[in-house]
């Protein structure tokens, strides 16, 4: 009988759940996609319900729930940080309760079986190693903070995993990056990728200033100079000393981005890459493997990943696609399987993350048939649909693309995507301003047919998860996906893992000679990626997307009644779906 393990991460940010059957990953999803609360940290009830339904199980069929951290060890760090004044905030008391995970697992989920608690960075490490396909590998995990660890070094060999060194809080590369994110006026635990996108616009004029905030020590250690940081008080990230060091007040959110802010972002990126490269070189002296596994929130910095891969000692790199805390659910489940089962975890490399819900044509048709929408039904005529969508994109239109199982992790990879022509010189500004409604400097990623990647990008290996950048070398002019430094965050697509998306790319290639589409996540600013057909319709109505493809159904913007948009705009004004933070959410 297969052993069923439910992996859960929650109570911090990016709450998620996954289900493993006999060591194989059956389903995984983040709670935000169902609740529509971005970065929803609550117990992932809806995600768990989906995972059970996908596996056709009841909660009573689960043999073990795996939790992605040690609550009592985390409490020690929380008390060290906040004991003098924590009682002033009742919410903090609840979040610090080490019994809360078990209580909610018992009372909310109705689970009475064993709970396996996995240390936070061990869960991150397992999420990378056990899905990498490597028999042996060095492992580096880097984030803001787990219980106490902020950076961990380990090895995996023949299905055995150990962490042999860690850097402890408050010394944290992740918190350094989040501190500057906050100083630059972006939201912590969500705006760090904006800083990464802003960096190429600047010059590294403040590298020495930022180097002074962090001191490298022997081995894998480093230390923050706490004079420059204020996050221990849980009120703001940076101190007056950091403001004085830069000589400029922090940027207020939503105000103009000036060259100074771009220079700080660039300098931060340089310092991050320096420290990561130094620590991967150290790791190689301890684990002289050809293979490196990365996880933790910092591993979503695809620019740094490329730098480490290109200049570091490791030949092969695997980054967990859900490297943030959502991926902790995967690692916790994998570690619980190794502890409780004699069988090994399948060793093949994770090749796709389409682990979420899917909706059949019949389900979508029932939804559409109850509305006044005019739609075209392409069931049984997929090739005609792909050609129609390719022609529309070629003509300058923006498409919402909804097909198959939803992606797990922060990247849209052709299941819940907004697609456009990468050659259109106006497309980037158009999508940023009218579709995504976000900052103008933000870059967009290209999806390219895997067999054509070398003709257009300086990329020597498939990159299915958008976790590395590379230089654009295409004979085609593609301003919509080429960043200011001539780089791109590429997704390679093959027909085996994503047949419908590959077929659309091929149809566009045959029509235009361009095997590439601009691909960005199907959502609007401050909203999670869409999950269901209704979410997709809502986003379609409220944005300037020109057409929507829901599996085999094609809908044009003109089919939307005016009162739909007016009603949804009223609802949008009266809701606040995002969890926002000024400081890192330690509690």
Nearest Cα to Cα of residue 418 among 540, 503, 297, 335: 540
Helix runs in 421-518, H state only: 427-430, 453-456, 499-512
**pLDDT tens for the chain, residues 1 to 587:** 689 999 999 998 899 999 999 999 999 999 999 999 999 999 999 999 999 999 999 999 999 999 999 999 888 888 887 654 555 566 666 677 899 999 999 999 999 999 999 999 999 999 999 999 999 999 999 999 999 999 999 999 999 999 999 999 999 999 999 999 999 999 998 899 999 999 999 999 999 999 999 999 999 999 999 999 999 876 789 999 999 999 999 999 999 999 999 999 999 999 999 999 999 999 999 999 999 999 999 999 999 999 999 999 999 999 999 999 999 999 999 999 999 997 788 878 999 999 999 999 999 999 999 988 999 999 999 999 999 999 999 999 999 999 999 999 999 999 999 999 999 999 999 998 888 888 888 889 999 999 999 999 999 999 999 999 999 999 999 999 999 999 999 999 999 999 999 999 999 999 999 999 999 999 998 899 999 999 999 999 999 999 999 999 999 998 888 777 776 666 555 555 555 555 555 44
What does the pLDDT read at residue 512? Answer: 98
Which DSSP letter does residue 432 get?
I
- CA separation for the pair 583, 181 (Å, rounded): 10
Strands (E), 147-219: 149-157, 160-168, 214-216
- CA separation for the pair 366, 24 (Å, rounded): 33
Q: Is the peptide bond before 46 cis (omega within 30 degrees of 0)?
A: no
Q: What residue ranges define each of the domains in the chain, with the CATH number in brackets?
A: 4-131+327-340 (3.30.420.40), 167-319 (3.30.420.40), 361-573 (3.90.870.20)
- CA separation for the pair 316, 134 (Å, rounded): 9
- CA separation for the pair 82, 180 (Å, rounded): 22
Distance set, CA 386 to CA 379, 423, 447, 502 (Å): 12, 19, 16, 10
What secondary structure does DSSP assign to 353-422, as a single string? Answer: -B-S----HHHHHHHHHTSS---EE-TT-HHHHHHHHHHHHHTT--EEEE-SSPBSSS---SSEEEEE-T
Which DSSP letter does residue 424 get?
-
Tens-digit pLDDT profile for residues 345-383: 887 899 999 999 999 999 999 999 998 899 999 999 999
Nearest Cα to Cα of residue 556 among 399, 359, 364: 399
- CA separation for the pair 291, 283 (Å, rounded): 11
Which DSSP letter does residue 61 get?
G
3-state SS class at 519: strand
Helix runs in 135-200, H state only: 173-183, 192-198
Nearest Cα to Cα of residue 149 among 67, 76, 42, 238: 76
Enter the tokens of residue 412.
Answer: 């849209």
- CA separation for the pair 326, 333 (Å, rounded): 12
Please tell me the chain's helix, strand, coil percentages from 3-state DSSP, rounded to the nearest 5.
40, 20, 40
What does the pLDDT read at residue 233? Answer: 79
CA dihedral sign of residues 227, 196, 327, 190: positive
What is the pairing mode between strands 316-319 and 291-295?
Answer: parallel
- CA separation for the pair 545, 561 (Å, rounded): 15
What does the pLDDT read at residue 586? Answer: 45
First-to-last C-alpha distance (Å) of the chain: 40
Enter the tokens of residue 228.
Answer: 């420059």
- CA separation for the pair 153, 270 (Å, rounded): 22
293 forms bridges with which residues in the sheet? 139, 318
Enter the tokens of residue 401.
Answer: 């693309």
């Amino acid at each position: 009988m297969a052993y069923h393990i439910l992996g859960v991460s929650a109570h911090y940010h990016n709450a998620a759940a996954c289900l493993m059957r006999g060591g194989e990953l059956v389903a995984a999803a983040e709670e935000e996609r169902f609740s529509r609360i971005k970065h929803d940290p609550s117990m992932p009830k809806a995600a768990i319900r989906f995972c059970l339904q996908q596996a056709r199980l009841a909660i009573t069929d689960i043999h073990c729930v795996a939790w992605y951290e040690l609550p009592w060890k985390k409490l020690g760090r929380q008390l060290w940080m906040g004991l003098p004044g924590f009682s002033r905030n009742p919410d903090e008391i609840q979040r610090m309760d080490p019994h809360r995970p078990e209580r909610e697992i018992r009372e909310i989920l109705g689970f009475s079986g064993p709970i396996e608690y996995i240390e936070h960075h061990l869960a991150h490490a397992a999420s990378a190693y056990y899905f990498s396909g490597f028999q042996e590998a060095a492992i580096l995990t880097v984030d803001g903070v787990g219980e106490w660890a902020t950076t961990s070094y380990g090895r995996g060999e023949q299905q055995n995993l150990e962490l042999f060194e860690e850097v402890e809080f408050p010394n944290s590369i992740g918190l350094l990056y989040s501190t500057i994110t906050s100083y630059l006026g972006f939201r912590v635990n969500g705006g760090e990728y904006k800083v990464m996108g802003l960096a190429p616009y600047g010059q590294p004029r403040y590298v020495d200033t930022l180097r002074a905030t962090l001191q490298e020590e022997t081995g894998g250690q480093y230390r923050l100079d706490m004079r420059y940081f204020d996050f221990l008080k849980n009120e703001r990230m940076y101190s007056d000393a950091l403001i004085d060091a830069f000589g400029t007040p922090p940027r207020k959110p939503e105000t103009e981005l000036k060259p100074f802010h771009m220079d700080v972002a660039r300098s931060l990126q340089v310092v991050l890459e320096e420290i990561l490269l130094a620590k991967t070189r150290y790791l190689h002296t301890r684990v002289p493997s050809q293979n490196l596994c990365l996880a933790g929130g910092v591993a979503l910095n695809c620019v740094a990943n490329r730098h480490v891969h290109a200049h570091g000692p490791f030949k092969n790199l695997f980054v967990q696609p859900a490297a943030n805390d959502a991926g902790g659910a995967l690692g916790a489940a994998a570690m619980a399987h190794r502890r409780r089962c004699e069988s090994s975890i399948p060793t093949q490399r994770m090749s796709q993350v389409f682990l979420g819900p899917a909706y059949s044509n019949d389900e979508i048709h029932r939804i559409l048939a109850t509305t006044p929408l005019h739609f075209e039904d392409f069931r049984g005529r997929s090739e005609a649909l792909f050609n129609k969508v390719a022609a529309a994109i070629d003509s300058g239109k923006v498409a919402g693309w909804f097909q198959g199982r939803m992606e797990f992790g922060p990247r849209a990879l052709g299941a819940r995507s907004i697609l456009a022509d990468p050659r259109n010189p106006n497309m980037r500004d158009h999508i940023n301003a009218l579709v995504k409604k976000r900052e103008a400097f933000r870059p967009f990623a290209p999806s390219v047919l895997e067999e054509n990647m070398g003709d257009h990008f300086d990329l020597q290996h498939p990159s299915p998860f958008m976790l590395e950048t590379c230089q654009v070398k295409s004979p085609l002019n593609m301003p919509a996906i080429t960043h200011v430094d001539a780089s791109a965050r590429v997704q390679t697509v093959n027909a085996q893992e994503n047949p419908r998306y590959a077929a659309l790319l091929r149809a566009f290639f045959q029509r235009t000679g361009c095997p590439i589409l601009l691909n960005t996540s199907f959502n609007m600013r401050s909203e999670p990626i869409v999950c269901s057909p209704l979410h997709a319709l809502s986003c379609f109505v409220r944005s300037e997307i020109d057409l929507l493809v829901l599996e085999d159904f094609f809908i044009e913007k003109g089919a939307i009644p005016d009162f739909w948009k007016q009603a949804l705009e009223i609802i949008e004004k009266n809701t606040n779906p995002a969890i926002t933070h000024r400081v890192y959410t330690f509690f």
